[in-house]
A = this chain, B = another copy of it.
Amino acid sequence: MDTGTRQARRGHGRATLKQVAQAAGVTAITVSRYLREPHRVAPATVQRIEAAIAATGYVPNKQAGLLASGVSNIVAALVPNLANSIFAETVQGLSDGLREAGFELLIASTGYSLEREAEQLQALAGWHPAGIVVTGRRHTEASQRLLQTALQAGTPVVELWDWQDNPGSGVAQVGFSHEAVGAAMAEHLLRAGHRSMAYVDSGVAEDYRAHERGLAFAATARAAGAHVVVLVGPPADAFDAGRQVMGDLLRLRAPEPTAAAFANDNLACGALLEAQRRGLRVPQQMALMGFGDFPIARQMQPPLSTVGLPRYELGLAGAQTLLRALRDGEAAQGQQLPWTLLARGSTGGS
């Protein structure tokens, strides 16, 4: 016979605390206590409870537990794209960092759309997560409001992959300045003597971080008196896009570019491969550099100059930032993570 519920609304087939308790000859609270503070339960009782749990296949219901205790161990995370290796590694870092602390990851992708980010954020917020992780610092007004509400309720919020002086909003940024990277890329090429160059932006129109790098690249180069063209890659496979763009680059005149920087390594590798196919010498006739230090970059001939990023570490640092804020009960503190300009053969580097 069922304990307490006559004509239950509908059983879902899963064992409950009450059923385990009944099987063990105790009340629910004792089983609950066993699960949280086993040392406070008599050894004999422990045995009976363990047997009952095994027999029933009991799995504690976390919805109920969280509701009752008001403590969440969910972290909600939003990334533009899970398949993109750049974010996938960050998610893995996040996952690893959280797992150790017993947190779980509720994840969604936005497809680089701020509107979808807002929708997903709304949906995820309903879980009243212990922390929220988003990608980048740009959000719709609705998202901003939601994040502020969360912050006020004591939920730390972390923005990954971006960083800029931005005092106060309460959101912790864990990332780096894409402006600084763009400028450094330009400086690298300027130092090598280039006076006419191109920046090849990503075909993903909404990837504003790539645009920011491009803007800073162009501004820096122009400030130094160089000539700059900004192109946008076609929305194809990145390698193919890079190959195509290389054709466009070679058609530019007055002045012809002698160097090109790309929004990511795959684009740059495509261009490098195409250059080789056409018998163009890299870096002598055209210097090339990418962004991201994907594994393939080092394998190219010549190796691709690029910007090394702490992809995995970003996720890990994001997790730690969140955990720290949770532990100390304070607003999360952001941090800048280091990137490295890797001068390799494709720009005449070491």
Contacts and interface: CB of A to CB of B under 8 A. Distances in A.
Interface of A: 9-10, 12-14, 57, 59-67, 70, 74, 81-85, 88-89, 91-92, 95-96, 99, 104-109, 120, 122-128, 145-146, 149, 152-154, 237-239, 266, 269-270, 273, 276-277, 295-296, 298-299, 301, 312
Contacts of A273: 299, 301
Contacts of A81: 92
Contacts of A109: 92, 95-96
Contacts of A237: 295
A13 B126 contact: no
A54 to B, nearest CB: 10
Contact of A299 (B67, B269, B298): B269
A70 B12 CA distance: 7
Prevailing SS type, chain A contact patch:
helix
Given A57-B149, A99-B108, A296 B63 contact: no
Contact of A12 (B9, B95, B153, B277): B153
A65 B91 CA distance: 28
Q: How many copies does the complex hold?
A: 2
A106 B105 contact: yes
Nearest to A105: B107
Given A12-B153, A13-B153, A105-B108, 4 more contacts: A62-B126, A84-B88, A85-B88, A99-B120
Contacts of A104: 106, 108, 123-124, 127
Contacts of A122: 59
Contacts of A65: 126
A70 B298 CA distance: 53
A292 to B, nearest CB: 13
A85 B83 contact: yes
Contacts of A277: 301
Contacts of A312: 83
A317 B166 CA distance: 43
A95 B107 contact: yes
